[in-house]
Amino acid sequence: MEWIQVWILVWVVCVITASILGFRKGTGASSFFFGLILGPLGVILVHISKGKRVACPFCDKLIYKASPVCPHCLQEITGTK
C-alpha cells in the first residue's frame, strides 16, 4: 500500500471510532464530524468528553441529563437540580 492509502484508512477508522464513542455518549453526529475533520485528535476529544451526561449529585458517577433516577445508586434525581 502506498502511504496515502494507509493515511486514508487511518482517517476512516478514526471517523468510525469517534462516531461509535459519540453514539454511546449521546453525541453521535457531532462526534462524527470531530472524527471527520480532526481525525486522531477528534477521537481523543470525543473520548475525554462527557457528552450529554452530568455527575449524579449523590454518587458522583456520570448519568444522562434526562435521567429521573441514577442507575448506579438508584436515587431519584428530579427536583434536586
Q: Note the pLDDT tens digit of each residue in 1-53.
A: 799 999 999 999 999 999 999 988 888 888 999 999 999 999 999 989 878 88
Of all residues in the chain, the percent with pLDDT exceeding 90 is 56
Question: For 49-71, what is each residue's pLDDT tens digit?
Answer: 878 888 898 998 888 888 899 99
Share of the chain above pLDDT 70, in %: 96
Cα 43 to Cα 65: distance, rounded to the nearest angstrom: 23
CB distance 56 to 75 below 8 Å = yes
Q: What is the mean pLDDT of residues 74-78?
A: 86
Dihedral angle of Cα 8, 13, 15, 16, to the nearest 10 degrees: 140
Element (H, E) at 44: helix 40-48
Q: Which residues pair with 64 in a beta bridge?
A: 53
